[in-house]
A and B are shown apart, each in its own frame.
Chain A
């Protein structure tokens, strides 16, 4: 089994910054494992600007921000496998070594032995099921991030008449993006009395395009059997109960859900790390170490961050702590 000083799971901004920092702090033998075909993580589909003001002092798009890190990774000759999904991380009590199991097209299922592992798997979107919205189950219901991927990476328009449930940043950004692509965004419904995303996104993505933001409002029912044909919106009171008589039907061919992000911690939980119920990420010490010795976490896998700059900062720390951990042994 190949032995690696630091295996980094995930090649988004967190994984890349952690790898660079581990290298700067003296680790030679590093490997990044990324399940997509390229490094960059969620940034690759965020073609809007608003990244990097803190890190680089300028406004970059997501792919531009990612590209700067990819360049550095290549310059430092840090090895990475793309198209490689990590399946399991096991920690051996005595040796304190970690066994990382992964799969790709070339090696099939393979294992690595790691002194430290840095978790940088990012987050996933909360799906419809979690909301348990009654009605039919037609085509045309997407999470906002999936729609973003379809539009920005694959060049497809998911639909033409859109209702968005939830006012998280991805939903707001997609409201603008779909409008620019000629779709009509009929409403953004938010259950809470205030928007979920950043104020700047409310202004730049909704107000500038006259898209109504309906606060204290949710989807009560989904209509349409084959393709979605409309939704019933309803007002909710302070305790999230629908207010009878406030139902409103809006026709649409697409419902986008932007109802929150959840750190992606299947691997972390399966490894036996203690989890933080509040953040959805693992519990970590001041050195970003999880309850499994030698396993560190950073970026959205730890807790959902608003700004990528903060992700990069945190990941640099994690890389440094991991390097120190290896040297201490």
Chain B
């Protein structure tokens, strides 16, 4: 019997697990995929918004502004890179300038610090990469960027280090109330728990509706992106948004913490909760929109494209907290943007509420810090020599684009909650994320995964399930090779 069972190992589920692991409680995170961060948390803009977007007084506004304030410390504790590069909402038409003022006023009302309205010259001075046609901007210095997988993996690793259990490849199929708690049915058998946190992303309404008569409804809204090569880095120095239209926030252009440029997202409601495919129209719209306000968009530098699904609840508000007619069942539903920005706040908010119900003592030895995988080539010569003595594998470059060594890949596999798939390696080390998108390193990474996990190479997958990389051995080779 668990004290708290969390459905979903996205950034929200992992944040809740990490905050709850401060207490003497039995915590389990149940995730249907083979790794953490396989849902929306892996495909978003990675922006830590300042907090002027959401309506004043909303949960979204409150969580965003507090989350933003706390993000720096959380990232320091977890060794996650976070860069407060600031954002600009730019206006291209004179007659829309008053809309900037409105955003500014809302930001002030929401408690956003440091906002400034800029005229054309000030805007271009701050961001020379913009089209000369720009008329003015709202500057939010507190906005930042981070890598969403890095944050999710870090939260999960830290939660695990503090005793939270992770059950991967485990899909929740039903939830039944019983005396003193819930039975959570999964494809791996039944699990009993006193309380449940519903952090199932685009599926959160399904679980909510299993226990409550007060129904909610989520529509997935697709956002498509193009990622540009690091060679295009420096195109812009801030996160740049066009003024929001009725349709949505519009296509942003932003640097990433790894020096690429990200363009997107589109916004289109879809039926399919697994529909993370990109579309011709979507990708064209991304490139076309960005071209309108960036001076010279190097469209030929696209190295990959992807799509993510926003979990939009009909009320367009975060649904956070205990479900009225289901005691001990806590929702984190409808967590669309600014969900990532709100992570530190949502994690604490849920944990405090749940701890009040559980009444657990704080752990004496909660470890708030976690160390990331060290990038060999970024270390000092002394540190390099030391690591090399430990394991000569740090001297072999496996990913030539991002310059990732074999030692780093081995570490990604060997850590607690380590990688078991190519995508898992990619998200923990960046091997395969560069210009050639794994063309060069994937055979080598498959080999390392197979030998470390004592599995035949043909069983290695891209991202679990049926995503096998190989069909088998060629004729006449020894099938016992592994």
Q: Which residues of A contact B (CB under 8 A)?
A: 35, 83, 85, 87, 103-109, 124-125, 127-130, 132, 134-140, 142-143, 145-146, 149-151, 154-160, 181-183, 220-222, 225-227, 253-254
- Given B274, B396, B443, which contacts A104 in the complex, CB threshold below 8 Å? B396
Assuming the A-B contacts A145-B439, A220-B280, are A227 and B400 also in contact, with contact meaning beta carbons closer than 8 angstroms in the complex?
A: no
Interface of B (DSSP majority class): mixed
Number of interface residues of B (CB under 8 A): 57
Complex Cα distance, B395 from A182, in Å, reads: 38
- Residues of chain A with a CB closer than 8 A to B92's CB: none
* Contact partners of B279 in chain A: CB under 8 A: 134
B70 at the interface (CB under 8 A from A): no
Partner of B397, one of A85, A151, A182, A183: A85
- Report if B2 contacts A (CB, 8 A): no
Q: Which residues on the A side are within 8 Å of B282 (C-beta)?
A: 134
Interface residue from A146, A220, A221, A253 paired with B440 (Cβ < 8 Å): A146
List B contacts of A155 (CB < 8 A): 473-474, 477, 481
Ranked nearest first, the 5 interchain pairs of A and B with the lowest CB-CB distance are A105-B395, A139-B462, A155-B477, A129-B303, A226-B467
Q: B477: nearest residue on chain A (CB-CB)?
A: A155
Interface of A is mostly: mixed
Q: Is the CB of A181 within 8 A of B475?
A: yes
With A109-B384, A129-B302, A138-B462: A157-B437 Cβ-Cβ less than 8 Å: no
**B280 lies within 8 A of A127 (CB):** no
**Residues in B neighbouring A130, C-beta threshold 8 A:** 300, 302-303
Q: When each residue 272-307 of chain B gets 1 if its CB lies under 8 Å from chain A and 0 otherwise, what string results?
A: 001011111011000000000000000010111110
Closest to A160 in B: B471
B226 to A150, Cβ gap below 8 A?
A: no
| In the complex with contacts A127-B439, A130-B303, A156-B457, A135-B467 CB distance below 8 A | no
A132 near B283 with CB under 8 A, answer yes
C-alpha gap A140/B305 in the complex (Å): 17
Query: In chain B, what residue has the closest Cβ to A83?
Result: B396
| B393 neighbours in A (Cβ, 8 Å) | 105
A-B contact pairs, 27 of them (CB 8 A): A83-B396, A85-B397, A87-B403, A103-B377, A105-B393, A108-B384, A109-B381, A109-B384, A124-B439, A130-B302, A132-B283, A134-B277, A134-B278, A134-B279, A134-B282, A135-B277, A139-B463, A151-B474, A154-B447, A155-B473, A155-B477, A156-B458, A157-B470, A157-B471, A158-B471, A226-B463, A226-B466
Whether B474 lies near A181 (C-beta < 8 A) is yes
Residues on the A chain within 8 Å of B226, using CB? 132
Q: How far is the CA of A150 from the CA of B462 in the complex (A)?
A: 16
Smallest beta-carbon distance B289→chain A, Å: 15
The reply to whether B397 and A150 contact each other, CB–CB distance below 8 Å, is no
Judge if B83 is at the interface, Cβ distance under 8 Å.
no
From B302, B405, B442, B469, give the contact of A132 (CB < 8 A).
Answer: B302
Query: Which of chain A's residues has its CB closest to B305's CB?
Result: A132
Taken residue by residue from 415 to 458, chain B's Cβ proximity to chain A (1 for < 8 Å, 0 otherwise) reads as 00000001000000000000111011011000100000000011
Option from A107, A138, A142, A156 in Cβ contact (under 8 Å) with B473: A156
| Complex alpha-carbon distance, A143 and B403, angstroms | 20
CB-based nearest B residue for A137: B306
B249 contacts the other chain (CB 8 A): no
**Residue from the set A124, A129, A160, A227 with the largest chain B CB neighbour count within 10 Å:** A129
Which of B305, B447, B463, B481 sits near A129, CB closer than 8 Å? Answer: B305
- A109/B473 in contact, CB under 8 A: no
- Decide yes or no: A106 and B305 within 8 Å by CB, A157-B474, A227-B467 being known contacts: no
Q: Could you say which of B388, B440, B466, B474 contacts A108, with CB atoms under 8 Å apart?
A: B388
Are A138 and B276 touching (Cβ within 8 A)?
no
B470 to chain A, nearest CB (A): 5
Return chain A residues, CB-CB under 8 Å to B465: 226
Bound complex: CA A132 to CA B306 (Å): 10
- Binary contact readout B52-69 vs A (1 if CB under 8 angstroms, 0 otherwise): 000000000000000000
User: Does the CB pair A128–B470 fall under 8 Å?
Assistant: no
B114 within 8 Å of A (CB atoms): no
The answer on a CB contact under 8 Å between A150 and B395 is no
Assembled-state Cα–Cα distance A227/B463 (Å):
10
A143 to B437, CA, bound (A): 10
B475 contact from A124, A182, A225, Cβ within 8 A = A182
User: Which residue of B has the minimal Cβ distance to A146?
Assistant: B439
Q: B392 contacts which chain A residues (CB < 8 A)?
A: 105-106
When chains A and B are docked, how far (Å) is the Cα of A253 from the Cα of B276?
19
